[in-house]
Amino acid sequence: MNRSSAIRKVFQGVASRQQMFRMFDRHARRPNRWEDDAAPLYAGEWFEIADTEHDYMFEILPPLWIRGSMFAMREFLTGSVTSVFFAMRIDGVIRHFHGYCDLSDSQAVERMRVEIIERESRPVRAMTREERLEHIWSITADDYRGYAGDRWPEESRGKRTIMLYGGQTGSTLKLLDDLSDDEIAAKLPVQLRHLPSSIAA
């Protein structure tokens, strides 16, 4: 199973309400869902939402806490990981974000806030390879993404897979992390295919 507690952007652009709810549990179909500690899988994921979605989430339940322009959801996703919503002024514009923070780490929320501001303050839009792969995973329907099972080599089992369309050669299943640059470009929406790459984006 993929493990990452790094702070990472998982969707490019502003998520609609439908996309937001879908991304709240991007890993719902992982194997052994109820048998492992999922906190490292979710903690650190973030994406942008519209102000209407931000306000909608604020009204659902009384927040666990409110700190300035941030609030945390009372219901935890797993362990000590919960949704934190941010309203931040970036380059003179108020923007809104959702992130999963592990509240057992007292610095997690502030680190994510700083990371989002730094990432979104860059003058040139760019995407790292990792961001491209995460965006592809976020936008792909469950029927066309999954996890390597027993038929895969042992070192690949539990890793994320994605369905590729090969024209006359038919569809094939491939590890998400093994997609070539051309395969990544083919999977991205047209408006994202030609964004520059950035090592630190």
What pTM does this model have? 0.83
Token match 């780490």: residue? 105
Do residues 41 and 3 lie in contact, with contact meaning Cβ atoms separated by under 8 Å? yes
* pLDDT per residue as tens digits for the range 28-87: 787 776 666 678 788 999 999 999 999 999 998 889 999 989 999 998 888 889 999 999
What average pLDDT score do residues 186-193 get? 74
CA distances from 13 to 52, 125, 184, 189, 191 (A): 15, 11, 17, 11, 10
Give the chain's end-to-end CA distance (angstroms, integer). Answer: 25
Q: What is the pLDDT of residues 87-122, one digit of tens each?
A: 999 988 999 999 999 999 989 999 999 999 988 887
